[in-house]
Amino acid sequence: MAAISCFRPSSIPHFKRNHHHGVRCCTSSGDDKKETPQVLKIAVNGVTEILRLFSYSGQQQQQRLETVSYTQDKASVCSVDDVVAALESDYDNAYFLTGNFTSEIYAQDCTFEDPTISFRGKDLYSHNLKLLVPFFDHPSLILQQISKGVKYEINYVLATWKLRTYLKFPWRPLISIEGSTIYDLDGDFRIVRHAESWNVSAFQALGQLFTPSLRGNSE
């Protein structure tokens, strides 16, 4: 996902209003990206440390990470429609929340971005998702719409979604975010850029993590 990345290492996209789709989304243009404010970087690093403190320690954590793997889809990817079908399946599997996704549709050095930070590499993306899996309670990921298009001769897929989950912290924070993800494709129909935007600011999303929930175990 790449979502909830304020709770995991994931970009600093440049946002623009997409009038055709009616949602905030990251464009495929070469516009310069804005630097993440230093205070937000510090906050994200702090959240990462919280995750480690609440995680399994040492070898237990490593064993946990090794038990969850992304889907190895050996079917060839020959068109944008193949990518759309794979993404629809991944959303059905709530891949933001389970860590299970079709790795075959991603380039090895794919860039993952969201409103907090960015990184490169699908293996690192898989690792970051796995780190979060033990913390989710009553998770839900709903794919609202998915479409394909071409911009500046680059094929892309646009997905809009809604994510909602409690976290297994003592104060039981509720994370609720609606967003969109643009998947830019290369000439071999592999995803080379996975860029998220949210309906809340990065600071607001981070604030959800520290807000106690009164409902905790109920949905």
List the chain domain ranges.
5-28+38-209
CB-based contact 188:196 (threshold 8 Å): no
The whole-model pTM stands at 0.73
pLDDT tens-digit map of 167-214: 999 999 999 999 999 999 999 999 999 999 999 998 898 899 899 987
Helices 122-132, 58-67: crossing angle, 10 deg rounding: 110
Question: Which residues lie below 8 Å from residue 105, measured CB to CB, with a gap of 6+?
Answer: 73, 77, 82, 83, 86, 87, 189, 190, 191
Q: What percent of the chain has pLDDT over 70?
A: 63
| Greater model confidence, 127 or 73 | 127
pLDDT at 219 over 80: no
**Residue range 21-29: mean pLDDT, rounded:** 40
What percentage of residues in the chain have a pLDDT greater than 90? 52
* SS3 per residue for 160-217: EEEEEEEECCCCCCEEEEEEEEEEEECCCCCEEEEEEEECCCHHHHHHHHCCCCCCCC
Q: Does domain 5-28+38-209 have CATH number 3.10.450.50?
A: yes
